[in-house]
């Protein structure tokens, strides 16, 4: 009797293992389409020549602006950035990117709309944040979707928000109950920077979107890793008053400790990328593209160098890390999906992704949050 009972348990154990393996092999999340909205206003570095810049202690910087701007360009690689027109807000450009990504897709078939952002809608000329209703609900409204079971919600996760939205979409799809998710990253940072802070020259606006679908293939999203380091690093990016002592303390702007973020990111991001590859038995030599959040060119290059050093590799292949920060700036959650859209539509010189190629995505931002995702092209 006992032996029979053990046999039954063993049999069902084998069945469960087989079914789990079948699900793992058959249900994957693929990116079926992408879209983006890159604003029309081109803001060159020369636009900051007449600014008054202050340090954290409210003291006017005594260096010429030409020198300040040149130094920032050397560090970030940014020569220009994009701002939205006055009549547009985050929900508008999120909608525009969504329309571009959806194309002829049946909008009623969406199970979820996930929008990553950090500040909601901020009208031109002010810093007041408007997040009710959610940006995702506003996008669903603009898309005219009647299906009440298309669930729309936002995630504020810092710059890694879009990538975290992709990870959440993958979990939904792998559950077997979800077929199609729209993930958007949109931000209008030009409305919330301190004009008297040198870091203001980094920020930009933009939106990118991806349609993620269930597919019975062994490609698509194959692994991901996320982490939050909040004990010592939670406030490396935060909101604070202007550095100009003559401005009202009631208005809050984006503030960051750039050197500390640089040290944290160059140490942590490569580790998370390596973890995501090891989860599926891949090595760096299997990777065709390393797609990193466009935060700072020097920092991203340092992340790449550190990543290769973890594998004992000194020579980094050419064209493995696409970049568009030089002309698009840092648009936070929008940098990764817009960059991906540019690559897949072959709008970025010397960068393509073909069937079977492996791309690893990674981002770092407020929280401090870090995530990485491994994607094999269908």
d(CA 184, CA 101): 10
Same domain, 195 and 69: yes
Give the pLDDT confidence score for residue 242 in this predicted structure.
93
Q: Indicate whether 152 belongs to any domain.
A: yes
- pLDDT tens profile 146-180: 999 999 999 999 999 999 999 999 999 999 899 99
Would you state the torsion angle of the CA atoms of residues 33, 39, 43, 44, taken in this order, to the nearest 10 degrees? Answer: 30
154 and 38 share one domain: yes
Among all chains, which residue has been given the structure tokens 């979800």? 178
Cα dihedral value 48, 49, 50, 51, nearest 10: 50
Q: Which of 155, 189, 218 is a domain's end point?
A: 218
* Position 23 pLDDT exceeds 50: no
Tens of pLDDT along 87-138?
Answer: 999 999 999 999 999 999 999 999 999 999 999 999 988 888 888 999 999 9
Report yes or no on 162 lying in a domain. yes
313-336 pLDDT, tens digit per residue, is: 988 998 999 999 999 999 999 999
Q: Which domain holds residue 310?
A: 221-376
- The model's pLDDT over 226-281, given as tens digits with 9 standing for 90+, comes to 999 999 999 999 999 999 998 877 789 999 999 999 999 999 999 999 999 999 99
Instruction: Let me know if residue 2 belongs to a domain.
Output: no
**pLDDT at residue number 7:** 52
DSSP 130: B
Check whether residue 268 and residue 152 sit in a common domain. Answer: no
- In the numeric block, the tokens 């870091």 are attached to 199
pLDDT for position 56: 92
> What pLDDT band is residue 27 in, cutting at 50, 70 and 90?
confident
Asked if the structure places residue 350 within a domain, the reply is yes
Predicted local confidence at residue 356, as pLDDT: 94
Which pLDDT value is given to residue 210?
A: 98
User: Of the candidates 164, 199, 218, which is a domain's last residue?
Assistant: 218
Q: Give the DSSP H/E element, type plus range, for residue 20.
A: helix 2-26
Q: How many structural domains compose the chain?
A: 2
204 with 251, same domain? Answer: no
Which residues does residue 226 pair with via DSSP β-bridges, in sequence order?
Answer: 371
How many Å apart are CA 103 and CA 101, to the nearest integer?
A: 6
Do both 189 and 44 map to the same domain? yes
Q: For residues 125 and 195, is the Cβ–Cβ distance under 8 A?
A: no
For residue 108, give the 3-state DSSP assignment. Answer: helix
Q: Where among 218, 243, 266 does a domain terminate?
A: 218
Under DSSP, the state recorded for 184 is E
Identify the pLDDT of residue 54: 93
């Amino acid at each position: 009797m006992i032996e029979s009972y053990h046999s039954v348990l063993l049999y069902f154990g084998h069945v469960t293992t087989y079914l789990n393996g079948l699900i793992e092999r058959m249900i994957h999340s693929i990116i079926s389409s992408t879209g983006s909205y890159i604003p029309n206003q081109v803001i060159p570095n020369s636009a900051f020549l007449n600014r008054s810049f202050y340090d954290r202690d409210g003291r006017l910087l005594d260096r010429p602006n030409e020198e300040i701007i040149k130094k920032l360009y050397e560090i970030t690689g940014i020569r220009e950035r994009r701002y939205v027109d006055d009549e547009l807000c985050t929900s508008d450009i999120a909608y525009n990117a969504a329309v571009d990504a959806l194309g002829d897709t049946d909008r009623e078939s969406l199970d979820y709309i996930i929008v990553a952002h950090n500040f909601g809608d901020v009208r031109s000329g002010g810093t007041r944040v408007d997040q009710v209703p959610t940006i995702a609900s506003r996008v669903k409204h603009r898309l005219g979707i009647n299906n009440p079971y298309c669930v729309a919600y936002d995630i504020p996760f810092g710059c890694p928000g879009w990538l975290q939205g992709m990870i959440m979409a993958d979990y939904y799809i792998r559950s077997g109950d979800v077929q199609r998710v729209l993930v958007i990253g949109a931000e209008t940072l030009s409305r919330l920077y301190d004009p008297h802070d040198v870091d203001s020259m980094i920020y930009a606006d933009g939106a990118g979107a991806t349609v993620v679908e269930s597919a019975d293939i062994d490609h698509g999203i194959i692994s991901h890793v996320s982490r939050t380091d909040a004990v010592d690093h939670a406030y490396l990016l935060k909101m604070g008053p202007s550095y100009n002592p003559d401005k009202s303390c009631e208005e809050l702007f984006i503030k960051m400790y750039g050197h500390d973020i640089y040290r944290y990111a160059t140490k942590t991001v490569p580790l998370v990328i390596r973890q995501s590859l090891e989860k599926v038995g891949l090595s760096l030599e299997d990777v065709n593209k390393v797609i990193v959040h466009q935060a700072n060119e020097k920092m991203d290059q340092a992340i790449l160098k550190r990543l290769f050093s973890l594998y004992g590799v000194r020579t980094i292949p050419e064209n493995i890390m696409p970049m568009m920060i030089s002309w698009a700036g840092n648009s936070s959650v929008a940098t990764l999906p817009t960059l991906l859209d540019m690559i897949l539509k072959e709008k970025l010189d010397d960068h393509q992704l073909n069937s079977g190629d492996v791309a690893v995505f990674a981002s770092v931002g407020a929280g401090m949050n870090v995530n990485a995702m491994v994607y094999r092209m269908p």
